[in-house]
């Protein structure tokens, strides 16, 4: 069994605007990182993301950024659930400009052990990334922070 997740959604904005809403910490803090984001997503950077529902800033290592196409991140998995000895999973975000002007965003995360605890973490992160895509869509298309007050 290969534990990994995949979620995707279409956002009615051009790829450059959608991509920038993810890499820019000010914009990311406007809809996703309810406790704030620090640092722009750039290849080789380590940034921090903080969430009201999981207090405490998480370090996020940026492995690769290909403008308007792809972002590859490594971040800590729930204790003992990652197959990587460093305890991290790999998140890949892909951005595709569609012919109708919308952007398809696809997020995958992989690197969990084959245990019940890791499966639970994978399912939880599937929920989290789905929420992120929903919040990104509403933020860019309607200017609303969907997560504001949702957790506290």
Residue 29 pLDDT? 94
Q: What pLDDT shows up at residue 54?
A: 74
Class of the CATH domain delimited by 4-142:
alpha beta
Q: Which residues pair with 142 in a beta bridge?
A: none
Helices 116-142 and 15-23: crossing angle in degrees, nearest 10, is 120
Low-confidence ranges of the chain (pLDDT < 50): none
**What pLDDT sits at residue 127?**
94
pLDDT at 147: 87
Q: Look up residue 100 and give its two tokens.
A: 């109708």
Task: Give the contacts of 85 (CB within 8 A, at least 6 positions apart).
Answer: none
Q: Is the dihedral of CA 110, 113, 118, 123 positive or negative?
A: positive
pTM: 0.95
Ordered DSSP codes for 35-56:
TEEES---TT-EEEEE-SSS-S
pLDDT at 52: 81
How is the chain split into domains, by residue range?
4-142
pLDDT at 149: 82
């Amino acid at each position: 069994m290969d534990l990994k997740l995949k979620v995707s959604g279409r956002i009615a904005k051009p790829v450059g605007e959608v991509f920038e809403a993810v890499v820019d910490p000010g914009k990311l803090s406007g809809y996703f990182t309810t406790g704030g984001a620090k640092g722009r997503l750039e290849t080789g950077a380590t940034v921090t993301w903080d969430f009201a529902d999981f207090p405490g800033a998480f370090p996020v290592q940026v492995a690769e950024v290909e403008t308007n196409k792809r972002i590859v991140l490594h971040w800590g998995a729930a204790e003992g659930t990652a197959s990587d000895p460093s305890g991290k999973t790999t998140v890949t975000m892909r951005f595709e400009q569609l012919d109708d002007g919308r952007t398809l965003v696809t997020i995958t995360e992989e690197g969990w052990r084959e245990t019940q605890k890791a499966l639970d973490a994978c399912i939880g992160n599937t929920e989290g990334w789905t929420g992120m895509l929903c919040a990104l869509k509403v933020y860019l298309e309607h200017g609303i922070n969907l997560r504001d007050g949702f957790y506290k």
